[in-house]
Structure 1
């Protein structure tokens, strides 16, 4: 994470840090005008939205990176599949070597790895058996492919709040309850892609990592969600559900890291929560190697980390999203393991069921649902 990004995520930055971002005031203003103009064009129907013909649920956020969208997308896709829907997740495929519309998983087989698909689609394909995953820059094209070719009758749009070219029946906005808006500024002076008032477009606010938020902040966010959407938010925590080997194919059990010395390696927007997760699993973090979000680890970087682990008599631990980017030979390294995280709902299960059912009902007349 760069110095600028670290300052982004400090709600109460020191005067000296604030001064470092002062040259970005004009750029922020231009970004604000551009975002407002684009939103107004969509709001007034002057920019067209494609219709998929089946229910579309978008999972997105206001700030860039690290809010917990992927665990929320997994949770929503799983619930739609449990309702008998043939679900497809549509993702941009950030960091992939290809930019064409492509099928990562057809719901039966995983067809592409992280290099061609991007880490998040590859992870979604692994975590959602029976659910198709597609990626590419134009989500409307992916929607048409999913419906016509794969028979999907419900779509989950991953990171789609600002991608308004595809119409949706429900917008879910995910906010990290511990730090939802960083310093409050828009790009590039801060981490936000839109002002917080954009949440009024959403049908539901999802507060992630509520166990890391103080009571007063959580109360304020609940009020913000209720005011913006007319309903209480869904609340979740990032719950570790397993420790797996580097190939992500073998369970080691949640107790595998208890009392173990570990080096934490991550390519995340905000790696601090990962360190907290490791501490909660009883690991002793002896060193940390933090890389930029979606970072592709080089052979040299991995060699350096493994040498450091050997010298420290420690294991190397990654998040599942990081490990999915490893080449098979590297993933098989016995000193590597990964932590699997789920979004565990602690409040709002009934609210989530209500809005998902409402989104499905919009297309009830034309649904091909097996349920």
Structure 2
């Protein structure tokens, strides 16, 4: 069964299944609260970045931003990720040792690989059991702070800061549990968060739609942080050669994405001033094959596109499939805190927050 796309109305016909799923999730959370399921703590600070809904809230650019902040402070940082849809079956895998990349996107998973490329001095490791993975990393490398990518539901590992991301463009996703809506767990789960971060907060109307749902559970508004994702540059999918955003303006583009929120990518691409002639959309974490690239190339040439524009996450998987003269470029985004930056810095850099 396909997941509900961000921003789409809930599927009322699946309420019954959603109720059953919700009961299972509540039982699991109860087991952790009562101590029936064990939890452990690592001998270093742990900052978790996660969400209540499935995919597409912008965790990766937030993880990159926080890692950069911590490293600017002089801290040794390790990013721990599940490595969703990675091909490697190793329980623990080092993607980067902070000096160089050790594996490719297929073995690592596309998001950890991107984080390792964007944060070359950070240790990046993947594994299903984040507590065991953290201990494994500490046996090999000195680390001051661990950043958990998609860690909110990973209750087995205790954390010092729990950041919960909510996508401003997906307010309806908060209205029902999977599969009727997009919630992984009940909305009340955000009470465990140290603070809430509203991402894609470009529109005041979208932000207010999220705030109205938070008001229903009496979350103080002053604790909410707002973030937007802004285009920074375009990067060659083959050589990592960079071009300014002005270089894109006026170009005819074919869009390609396999991410959790393709609508967000489309809006970002349009903001560059490119003329979008067509688009190919895949499921999140799509692994490309030669036929995919061949078909996209044919479509782009048929409509007279100057470039094929994709996401950085997708671009990491494409180089082996591209011809030397393929004009494929990736849009690089940066996270920018529009509201609450001082509070977020204080939490992440160790000056405030609650351990959970």
1:335-368 superposed Cα distances (whole Å, 9 cap, x missing partner): 11110011111111111122124468999xxxxx
| Cα distance between partner residues in 1 of 2:34 and 2:351 | 22
Query: Which residue matches 2:132?
Result: 141
Aligned positions of 1:122-201 closer than 5 A = 122-182=113-173, 184-201=175-192
- Contact 1:225 1:233 survives alignment (8 Å): no
Query: Which residue matches 1:5?
Result: 4
| Cα distance between partner residues in 1 of 2:215 and 2:263 | 25
Aligned positions of 1:351-370 closer than 5 A = 351-358=343-350
Instruction: In structure 1, list runs of 5 or more residues that go unmatched.
Output: 364-371
Residues 241-250 or 289-298, more deviating: 241-250
Q: Are 1:35 and 2:22 counterparts?
A: no
| Cα distance between partner residues in 1 of 2:220 and 2:131 | 26
Q: Are 1:350 and 2:342 counterparts?
A: yes
Q: 1:216 offset after TM fit, Å?
A: 6.7
1:116-151 superposed Cα distances (whole Å, 9 cap, x missing partner): 000000000001121110001111121012222111
Select the residue among 307, 330, 352 that pairs with 2:322.
Answer: 330
4+ long deviations beyond 6 Å: 359-363
Q: 1:247 offset after TM fit, Å?
A: 2.5
Residues 216-225 or 238-247, more deviating: 216-225
Query: Which residue matches 1:25?
Result: 15
SS, match of residue 193 in structure 1: coil
Aligned positions of 1:42-191 closer than 5 A = 42-100=32-90, 101-182=92-173, 184-191=175-182
Aligned positions of 1:258-337 closer than 5 A = 258-314=249-305, 315-330=307-322, 332-337=324-329
1:224-279 superposed Cα distances (whole Å, 9 cap, x missing partner): 49943785222111101110111262102212221111111100222111111111
Q: TM-score, normalised by structure 1?
A: 0.89
| Cα distance between partner residues in 1 of 2:265 and 2:272 | 11
1:219–1:104 distance in 2 versus 1, CA, 3 Å: closer
1:286–1:361 distance in 2 versus 1, CA, 3 Å: closer
| Cα distance between partner residues in 2 of 1:266 and 1:27 | 30
Q: TM-score, normalised by structure 2?
A: 0.92
| Cα distance between partner residues in 2 of 1:70 and 1:189 | 26
| Cα distance between partner residues in 2 of 1:207 and 1:63 | 13
**In angstroms, what is the RMSD of aligned CA positions?**
2.4
| Cα distance between partner residues in 1 of 2:137 and 2:151 | 16
Residues 246-255 or 259-268, more deviating: 246-255
| Cα distance between partner residues in 1 of 2:142 and 2:220 | 32
